[in-house]
Amino acid sequence: MSSSSTSTSTYTITHTATQLADVILGSIVNILGHLGIDATRLFGSWAQDEAAIIAWISERSLKAVVLECHRPDGTVSPIIEFPVDYVASGAANATFTADRASLARYLAKLQTVPRNTTYKMFATFNGPRTEQPGWGPGTRAGTDGMRSRSFGTLAGAHHASASMRYLTNP
C-alpha cells in the first residue's frame, strides 16, 4: 500500500492587501525617520491607516498612497507616491517580495529637509471606494515642475503590487 498526501493553499486579495499595506506604511516610517520628520502621529494612527489601506486594496479602489513633506517655508518637497497596480486574474507572481535593501540604498539618495518639516498623507482612488475612519477629503500640493524619479516595484504579490515614485523640486 502506498501513501500520498495533498496540500492546498489559498492566497486571497486580503493577504495581498495586508502585505502591501504593511510595506507601504513601513516604507513611509523609514522615509520619515531618514528625513528626521517626527512619525509619532503615524504610529498613533497605524491600525486605522492600515485597516483603511487594506480595505481599499481589497476592493481594488486604491490608486496610490501619497506622502507630502511640508517645509516650514511653505514649500512641499519631497512628495513620495506609492501607486498600487492590480492584476486582473490574481495570477501574478506567487512570491511576495519587498526589496528593503534597495529601499535603504534609495533612501541614502533622498534630499534632506529642514528641521520642523511636517508631513501629510493622502490616498487617491481609481473610482468609488468605501469611506474609512480617519481619512477625509484633502487638497494635495501641486506637482507641476517637480522632478520625478521612480524606485520601481517596492512589493508585489498575487493580485497587486506597489511601487514608489519620488518627486522633488529642481
With cut-offs at 50, 70 and 90, classify the pLDDT of residue 86. very high
Burial of 133 (0-12, 13-18, 19+ CB in 10 A): exposed
Residue pair 132/107 in contact (Cβ under 8 Å)? The answer is no
Per residue in 50-79, pLDDT (tens digit) is 999 999 999 999 999 999 999 999 999 999
- CATH value at residue 22: 3.30.900.10
Q: 141 in a domain, yes or no?
A: no
CA distances from 170 to 68, 71, 72, 150 (A): 16, 15, 18, 15
Q: Which domain holds residue 93?
A: 13-128+146-168
Which of 92, 64, 79 has the alpha carbon at shortest distance from 162? Answer: 64
Q: 35 in a domain, yes or no?
A: yes
Q: 4 in a domain, yes or no?
A: no
Q: 58 in a domain, yes or no?
A: yes
Checking if the pLDDT of 93 tops 90, the result is: no
How far, in Å, CA of 99 to CA of 97, rounded?
Answer: 6
Q: How many domains does the chain have?
A: 1
Q: 47 in a domain, yes or no?
A: yes
Q: 94 in a domain, yes or no?
A: yes
**How do beta strands 160-168 and 147-157 pair?**
antiparallel
Q: 152 in a domain, yes or no?
A: yes
How far, in Å, CA of 19 to CA of 84, rounded?
Answer: 12
**What pTM was computed for the model?**
0.86
Q: 3 in a domain, yes or no?
A: no
Per the structure block, which three cell numbers stand in for 83? 501607486
With cut-offs at 50, 70 and 90, classify the pLDDT of residue 157. confident
Per residue in 96-155, pLDDT (tens digit) is 455 566 677 777 777 789 999 999 999 999 999 999 999 999 999 999 999 998 888 888
